């Protein structure tokens, strides 16, 4: 199991991170190339100020859906924060970054990271319930929606299990790192590509809204 | 009528552009768009969730255009029958996906197979033949304007409604409905423009119908033809602005 950990946290992680970064950048570049190929004038009317406004209103819960659908919005935000903040700021993760690249930043207290991760799991379960319990969401849901939700929850669950040593620590920590590698590799090729495409999509629509002066919503 | 699959594939290719791929790829199927839809709010069936309207396009791309007539009927029912392309759902979408844009692109696939719904197809034919979607003749149009201007002059003696006045500042256009069924609206428009001291002109013949049924139907060549007539009318008259009604 230690061999698996060394592989997953070493070369495989480096590969996963490279696939993630290059893949995510490629998704954005590909959009721009396709848009320009279809219409060289398409980018000329772009309104950066409106695009930015649109991104900010939706990066924060300052929009019409946050007001009218507070539960789903809260679940969405908690889910994202529960995944991202422990991933970047858990003390054990910060130490790994430091060891690998000599980059270091202020970690979250373990208890806070732990709480965030649990909240993330709870929010993920709520989002899963929406896909089962709400008829209109159920009708839209396909296999990939379950796949990406599962892929995102796996590092959280294995991380929590390893931290608490529910079972063999060496196995759990190897699975934890492996599941994170898989998540990073899958991201550019699935709906997880919204990591960067969210910004592209909101910029496109924000700019369009700007042309009509209808607000960022 | 059997489908013309090669034409369908070509239409599919031409619609599978940057935005289409972006939005089909990221739609998270969260269903939050339902909040914004008057179809869903009136009759909360799963098929009335705006994101559901992306299914025909996604499925066509998956099958590379190899579909049958029953499939195309489902497509027509979905993208013409459950959506007015009002864009309200985009207000509620966390990604800001323009479902109306994608519905219009999907309508173009129906157009490629001659499956435009009959009511829309006849309005479009009217617009192409007569210059407006209700098939109002030029004579009827001019008489209606004259009639409403006379009425208005009883209240506002100096009111004018010039037709094809060269060099006017603004070309005003109308929804044909206001000419045929609600001339009182025409009266009110004329009153407003006169009271505002606007240097305006109307235009006869082609180019005064501000609705573009080609755009609505998803028929790009027809949409370009109809928009082109309005642009031509404006350019011929040398106006600076075309005022669109609706």
- Which residues in A lie closer than 8 A to residue B100 (C-beta atoms)? none
Average pLDDT over chain B reads 95
Look-up of token digits 């489902």: B74
Structure token pair of residue A210: 């700007």
The pair of three-digit structure tokens given for residue B137, joined into one six-digit string: 């003749």
DSSP readout, B181-245?
A: T-HHHHHHHHHHHHHTT--EEB--SSS-B---HHHHHT-HHHHHHHHHHHHHHHHHHT-SEEE--
* Distance of residue B161 Cα from the nearest chain A Cα, in angstroms: 29
Which tokens is A1 given? 């199991």
**How far is Cα A209 from Cα A186, in angstroms, rounded to an integer?**
32
Residue A202 touches partner B, C-beta closer than 8 Å: yes
How would residue B205 be classed by pLDDT, with cut points 50, 70 and 90?
Answer: confident
Cβ contact, residue pair A198, B27, below 8 Å: no
**Among B188, B217, B204, which residue's Cα sits nearest to residue B132?**
B204
10 Å CB burial of residue B58 (0-12, 13-18, 19+) is middle
Contact in structure between B29 and A141 (CB atoms under 8 Å): yes
Separation in Å, CA A97 to CA A23, A105, B77, B98? 21, 9, 54, 40
The answer to whether B98 contacts A72, with C-beta atoms less than 8 Å apart, is no
Q: Which helix (H) or strand (E) holds B172?
A: strand B170-172
Mean pLDDT of B135-157: 96
Residue B151, pLDDT > 80, answer yes
- Structure confidence at residue B29 (pLDDT): 98
Interface test with B, best of A149, A204, A207 (most B CBs within 10 A): A204
Q: CB contact, 8 Å: B29 with chain A?
A: yes
Residue B107 CA to residue B110 CA, distance in Å, equals 5
Query: Chain B partners of A34 at a C-beta cutoff of 8 Å?
Result: 17-18, 21
Instruction: Kindly tell me if the per-residue pLDDT of B131 is higher than 70.
Output: yes
B157-168 burial code (b ≥16 CB/10 A, e <16): eebebeeebeeb
- The separation between CA B96 and the C-alpha centre of its own chain, rounded to angstroms, equals 22
Residue B65's region, left for phi above 0, alpha for psi from -120 to 50, else beta, is left
Mutate to test the interface with A, among B59, B85, B94, B104 (most CBs of A within 10 A): B94
Q: In what order do the strands lie in the sheet with B241-243?
A: B200-201, B170-172, B241-243
Residue B46 is encoded by which pair of tokens? 């799963």
Give chain A positions within 8 Å (CB) of B88: none
Whether the predicted interface score ipTM is above 0.90: yes
- A168 strand-pairing partners: none
Q: What pLDDT does residue B246 have?
A: 67
Predicted confidence pLDDT, tens digits, chain A (217 residues): 789 999 998 999 999 999 999 999 999 999 999 999 887 877 788 999 999 999 999 999 999 999 999 999 999 999 999 999 999 999 999 999 999 889 999 999 999 999 999 999 999 999 999 999 999 999 999 999 999 999 999 999 999 999 999 999 999 999 999 999 999 999 999 999 999 999 999 999 999 999 888 888 7
Q: What is the mean pLDDT of residues B101-115?
A: 95
Mean pLDDT value across residues B157-161:
97
DSSP conformation class of B163: B
Q: Could you count the other beta carbons within 10 Å of the beta carbon of residue B215?
A: 17
CB contacts, 8 Å: B21 with chain A:
31, 34
Chain A residues within an 8 Å CB radius of B52: 139-140
Quick one: pLDDT at residue B2? 87
User: Is the Cβ–Cβ distance between B20 and B57 less than 8 Å?
Assistant: yes
Count residue pairs from A and B with Cβ separation < 8 A.
Answer: 103
């Amino acid at each position: 199991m230690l061999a698996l950990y060394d592989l997953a946290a070493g070369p495989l992680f480096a590969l996963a991170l490279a696939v993630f970064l290059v893949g995510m950048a490629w998704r954005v570049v590909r959009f721009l190339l396709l848009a320009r190929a279809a219409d060289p004038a398409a980018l000329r009317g772009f309104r950066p100020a409106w695009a930015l406004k649109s991104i900010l209103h939706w990066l924060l819960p300052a929009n019409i859906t946050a007001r009218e659908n507070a539960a789903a919005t809260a679940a969405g935000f908690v889910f994202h924060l529960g995944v991202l903040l422990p991933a970047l700021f858990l003390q054990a993760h910060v130490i790994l970054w430091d060891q690998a690249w000599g980059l270091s930043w202020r970690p979250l207290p373990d208890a806070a990271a732990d709480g965030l991760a649990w909240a993330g799991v709870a929010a993920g379960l709520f989002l899963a319930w929406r896909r089962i319990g709400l008829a209109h969401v159920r009708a839209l849901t396909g296999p990939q929606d379950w796949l990406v939700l599962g892929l995102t929850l796996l590092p959280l669950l294995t991380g929590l299990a390893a931290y608490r040593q529910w079972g063999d620590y060496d196995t759990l920590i190897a699975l934890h790192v492996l599941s994170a590698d898989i998540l990073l590799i899958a991201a550019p090729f699935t709906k997880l590509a919204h990591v960067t495409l969210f910004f592209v999509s909101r910029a496109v629509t924000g700019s369009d809204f700007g042309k009509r002066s209808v607000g960022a919503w | 009528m059997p489908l013309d699959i090669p034409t369908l594939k070509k239409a599919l290719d031409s619609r599978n552009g940057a935005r289409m791929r972006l939005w089909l790829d990221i739609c998270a199927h969260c269903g939050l768009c339902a909040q914004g839809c008057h179809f869903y709010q009136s009759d909360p069936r799963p098929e009335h969730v705006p994101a559901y309207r992306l299914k025909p396009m996604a499925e066509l791309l998956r099958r590379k255009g190899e579909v049958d007539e029953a499939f195309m009927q489902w497509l027509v029912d979905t993208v013409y029958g459950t959506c007015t392309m009002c864009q309200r759902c985009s207000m509620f979408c966390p990604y800001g996906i323009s479902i109306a844009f994608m519905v219009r692109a999907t309508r173009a696939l129906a157009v490629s197979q001659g499956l435009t719904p009959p009511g829309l197809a006849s309005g479009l034919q009217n617009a192409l033949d007569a210059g407006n979607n209700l098939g109002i003749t030029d004579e009827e149009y001019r008489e209606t304007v004259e009639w409403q201007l006379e009425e208005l002059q009883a209240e506002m003696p100096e009111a004018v409604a010039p037709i094809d006045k060269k060099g006017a500042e603004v070309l005003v256009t109308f929804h044909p409905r206001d000419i045929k069924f609600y001339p009182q609206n025409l009266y009110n428009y004329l009153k407003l423009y006169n009271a505002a001291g606007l240097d305006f002109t109307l235009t006869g013949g082609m180019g005064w119908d501000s609705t573009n049924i080609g755009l609505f139907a998803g028929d790009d060549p027809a949409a370009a033809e109809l928009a082109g007539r309005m642009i031509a009318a404006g350019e011929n008259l040398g106006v600076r602005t075309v005022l669109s009604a609706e």
